[in-house]
């Protein structure tokens, strides 16, 4: 090929014209364009360099001349080439960096990288969803028990009835029939005072926490969290610059000492404290509400798995006790339907509805209308209640089975009876968490560790890390629980007395 | 009822026991519990007050005594009641606020409300998705043209093949088969250099912009945006505290003057500038890349609708020209599939992949696995390419029809020939935008205004607002376009000469 170095780079590039799939004329032309652009962009062809005539190139590449002409015309129009009648086709000189000699560019330019906020976010390490539902990954419902057939029927039904209406942009506050179904459900089953207009649909509790953090926290604002506590919430607050104050949890729940900085908000999991499962007592609820009122703090009530309560009925939501619209109530479908649904909800004090909806539009618009419509129908047609009832019975028996198995077979593990939820905390002899977790991993059993759920702190009278595990039972059949406990029981554990 | 004031409040509360739906014993018990809790929480029943005996209350309410006993036991367990054998049932004294006389609580407590950041976000007014697809709402594809039948088949197919695997937690970076399909598509059709590991799936371009803003911008960092430009991007950057620098756009695209502050990043819509449709010229692309390299700035290339190009082929993506991993490439399925799919993507420089994935876990976890799986299959099976080809032809003819209609019928409107996209800019006589928009609204025609897309500014040599409209044509059949133009043409417009 005249005026072109027959370098292997060039031939390698051209090979792409002949590889893969379709060979329509327009397909070939496009590939030739791509190849030429890449050759120019990569420096294999340099500004001012002459290209072969279309006739020569067509012969070399066994393409029709029309295809090559079309490709040249296309990338000439894009500014890559200049064609001069009688002289030939050249790589455009305008591609030379203006008024600077061409030089080898450094690949490692000195970029500014992340913002201070960005570095702080990366430093949190992020939030880790439960892995595959093997023993004892915590936090996932049993997806094998989900009524997928009904779900498919409702999906088809909604697409049939509503068609393209479900495909367009949606209400950033959430699909109204879903908010209505939720309002009824939350009032009836959780004692939450709300109407559809107080509810906002989000993709996850995590999103709700992130939005609230952005809306309510200025850098260095104090925020109270439970110690130990849910890392996802801490991470969201940290990413907004909050000053996180971990507060010890005892058998009645959060137990703030005096002298703590007045928080922007208090983050609570009152139904089943994450991770211990403790329920926040009524008198503590009332005194926290009173404190929040006197100090102008918000309360975030994360009611992430209260539907799955096994011993008696759960206490109604704290939100129902709130006379001053200070409680922001969060719930999710991830634990009671399925995580990849990406639907959760917040019940907001009236003054926050508008700001949160505005923020949602800036953040990511809205949630899938189809998924919301199917979920609304799933609730309205009674499937939700039956699935909840079924899950509750199933997980109840699994929790009991796990407790029983541990009691029978593992002397060094002290499980806590979680009154509900998808997992239970189990304590280990002091100083043994790392060692025993490594042994368990060798035995092929995942045992999420408890100590990372404690925030390292010196400033407050917060609890110090305890050794233990957070064992998920909800996604495991009884036989799987038995097998996993047997593997833990047969580990060669050092004497712990 | 003994010891209870027969106030209307009390009776009103109790009415709820008899209203609505099911009357199973457990349903009645739950309602009675709810009613009693509300009565206590609202202050209708006060701490220490005696409740009627279960026998009396059962008779009054025509309930079985077992139901009333069960309700009393339940809310006693919750801490609302105290029962003393032989004395009766009392509202718990522990509900009194500790060591403070009970007083009428103010409903308007003095809450701290939003953070400074929150107020700034609310002040942006948020981002507004296109309304219902009537003339001339801009920015929506024609959902009537979407192959919904194929989509339903693929949805059922994926649920059949993959079942519950699609229901669980997903990869925060995105479903791998979708990232692979996208990598092939973006290389082939847009000249983007990438592999699946550089791609991150988001719910929307807006989410990608928000995540990038959080990760890269510290308060007061300068960011260059196009003037006029996309408000969604500006809002995301504003919410992270950026110092927004609007830069004038001429017929070759962004035209920065000298003396501008070095930006953290430059936000561009190079294929079809939003809203004018201008394409950023090759030499401007190269000089912006050069500037960015020399100053350590990122470039965000928002390629939101380049697939829908009508006149010739679009220029390949700027990302393909980037030798230094400085360009962050964004694309979306909202314009080419459907908005409520909630899927978009970012092609990231290697150094940003890890931080962005971490941030996504803190922000909202991941996108729907089912939707990603169906989209991947839609691409792999060739439906994506055919739908794109079909949409391109359809919208091309609609654009031409709108231009033709305006030319024939409306002398005072000066449309710009957008080489692609879902809408076109049309200029109005100076000072007439508000007046003519009001007239159009009276005539039942939506005419999104151009001037709000200009940022008010004094600091830079940025363009000042122009009067005009941004007319969406993609979602309208030809007859709908004709009818809407006729309505505009018949408006009683003041002389504009």
Beta carbons of B122 and A146 less than 8 Å apart: no
Residues A350 and A220 in one domain: yes
pLDDT of the residue at A103: 34
Beta carbons of A118 and B290 less than 8 Å apart: no
Residues B58 and B149 in one domain: no
Beta carbons of B283 and A125 less than 8 Å apart: no
User: Taking CB atoms and an 8 Å cutoff, what residues of chain B touch A134?
Assistant: none
Beta carbons of A117 and B218 less than 8 Å apart: yes
User: Taking CB atoms and an 8 Å cutoff, what residues of chain A touch B326?
Assistant: 109, 111
Residues A287 and A325 in one domain: yes
Does the complex come out with an ipTM higher than 0.85? no
Q: How far is residue A332's CA from residue A302's CA, in Å, rounded to a whole number?
A: 9
User: Taking CB atoms and an 8 Å cutoff, what residues of chain A touch B293?
Assistant: 105, 109
Q: How far is A451 from chain B (nearest CA, A)?
A: 20
Residues B377 and B407 in one domain: no
pLDDT of the residue at B42: 66
Residues B370 and B272 in one domain: yes
Over the stretch A96-125, which tens digit does the pLDDT of each residue have? 543 333 333 333 333 457 888 888 888 888
Residues B205 and B258 in one domain: yes
In a domain, B497, yes or no: no
Residues B320 and B253 in one domain: yes
Of A318, A352, A382, the residue that ends a domain is: A382
**Which of A103, A105, A169, A336 is most worth mutating to test chain B (most B CB atoms within 10 A of its CB)?**
A169
In a domain, A5, yes or no: no
Torsion-angle region of A241 (φ positive above 0: left; ψ -120 to 50: alpha; else: beta)? left
Beta carbons of B369 and A143 less than 8 Å apart: no
User: Taking CB atoms and an 8 Å cutoff, what residues of chain B touch A38?
Assistant: 191, 320
Of A109, A156, A362, the CB nearest to B124: A362
In a domain, B91, yes or no: yes
Over the stretch A402-429, which tens digit does the pLDDT of each residue have? 999 999 999 999 999 988 999 999 999 9
User: Taking CB atoms and an 8 Å cutoff, what residues of chain B touch A170?
Assistant: 129, 339-340
Residues A412 and A463 in one domain: yes
Over the stretch B173-206, which tens digit does the pLDDT of each residue have? 999 999 999 999 999 899 999 999 999 999 999 9
Q: How far is B63 from chain A (nearest CA, A)?
A: 19
CA A116 → CA A119, A120, A318, B296, B347, distances in Å? Answer: 5, 6, 36, 16, 23
Q: How far is A237 from chain B (nearest CA, A)?
A: 9
* Token representation of residue A332: 């999710």
Q: Give the pTM.
A: 0.81
Query: Domain range for residue B167?
Result: 117-130+145-382
Residues A33 and A123 in one domain: no
CATH of the domain at A479: 3.90.1150.10
In a domain, B138, yes or no: no
Beta carbons of B169 and A130 less than 8 Å apart: yes
**Which band of pLDDT confidence, cut at 50, 70 and 90, is reported for residue B404?**
very high
Mean pLDDT by 10 residues, chain A (497 residues): 35 49 69 80 73 80 83 83 83 58 32 78 85 82 95 95 92 97 93 95 97 94 96 94 94 93 96 94 95 95 94 88 95 96 97 95 95 97 95 96 97 93 95 95 94 80 84 95 96 72
Nearest chain B alpha carbon to A338: B167
In a domain, B171, yes or no: yes
CATH of the domain at B348: 3.40.640.10
In a domain, A390, yes or no: yes
CA A328 → CA A175, A299, A346, B239, distances in Å? Answer: 20, 6, 7, 22
Q: How many domains does chain A have?
A: 3
Beta carbons of A362 and B126 less than 8 Å apart: yes
In a domain, A1, yes or no: no
Residues B393 and B314 in one domain: no
Of B365, B382, B399, the residue that ends a domain is: B382
Residues B203 and B340 in one domain: yes
Residues A31 and A149 in one domain: no
In a domain, A429, yes or no: yes
CATH of the domain at A80: 1.10.10.10
Of A95, A124, A293, the CB nearest to B286: A95
């Amino acid at each position: 090929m005249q005026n072109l170095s027959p370098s292997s780079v060039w031939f390698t590039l051209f090979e792409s014209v002949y590889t893969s799939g379709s060979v329509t004329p327009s397909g070939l032309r496009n590939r030739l364009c791509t190849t030429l652009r890449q050759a120019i962009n990569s420096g294999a062809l340099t500004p001012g360099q002459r290209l072969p005539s279309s006739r020569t190139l067509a012969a070399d590449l066994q393409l029709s001349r029309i295809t090559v002409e079309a490709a040249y015309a296309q990338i000439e129009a894009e500014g890559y080439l200049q064609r001069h009648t009688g002289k030939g086709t050249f790589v455009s000189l305008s591609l030379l960096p203006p008024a600077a000699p061409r030089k080898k560019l450094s690949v490692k330019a000195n970029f500014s990288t992340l913002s201070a906020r960005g570095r702080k976010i990366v430093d949190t390490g992020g939030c880790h969803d439960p892995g595959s539902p093997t023993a004892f990954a915590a936090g996932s419902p049993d997806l094998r028990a989900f009524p997928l057939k009904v779900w498919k029927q409702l999906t088809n039904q909604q697409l049939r009835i509503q068609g393209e209406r479900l495909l367009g942009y949606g209400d950033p506050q959430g699909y109204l029939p879903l908010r209505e179904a939720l309002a009824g459900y939350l009032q009836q089953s959780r004692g939450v005072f709300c109407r559809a207009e107080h509810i906002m649909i989000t993709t996850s509790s995590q999103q709700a926490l992130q939005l609230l953090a952005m809306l309510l926290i200025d850098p260095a604002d104090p925020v109270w969290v439970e110690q130990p506590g849910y890392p996802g919430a801490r991470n969201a607050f940290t990413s907004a610059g909050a000053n996180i104050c971990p507060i010890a949890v005892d058998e009645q729940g959060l137990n703030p000492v005096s002298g703590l900085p007045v928080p922007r908000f208090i983050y609570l999991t009152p139904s089943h404290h994450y991770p211990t499962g403790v329920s926040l007592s009524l008198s503590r609820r009332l005194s926290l509400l009173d404190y929040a009122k006197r100090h102008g703090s918000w309360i975030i009530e994360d009611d992430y798995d209260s539907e799955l309560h096994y011993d008696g009925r759960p206490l109604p939501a704290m939100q129902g006790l709130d006379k001053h619209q200070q409680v922001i109530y969060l719930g999710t479908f991830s634990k009671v339907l399925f995580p990849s649904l990406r639907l959760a909800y917040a019940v907001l004090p009236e003054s926050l509805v508008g700001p949160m909806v505005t923020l949602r539009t800036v953040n990511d618009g809205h949630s899938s209308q189809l998924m919301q419509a199917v979920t609304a129908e799933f609730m309205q047609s009674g499937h939700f209640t039956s699935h909840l009832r079924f899950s509750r019975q199933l997980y109840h028996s699994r929790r009991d089975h796990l407790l029983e198995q541990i009691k029978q077979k593992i002397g060094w593990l002290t499980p806590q009876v979680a009154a509900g939820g998808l997992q239970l905390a189990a304590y280990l002899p002091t100083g043994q968490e790392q060692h025993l977790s490594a042994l368990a991993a060798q035995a092929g059993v995942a045992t999420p560790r408890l100590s990372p759920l404690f925030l390292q702190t010196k400033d407050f009278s917060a609890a110090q890390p305890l050794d233990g595990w957070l064992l998920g039972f909800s996604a495991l059949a009884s036989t799987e629980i038995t097998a996993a406990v047997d593997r833990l029981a047969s580990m060669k554990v050092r004497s712990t007395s």
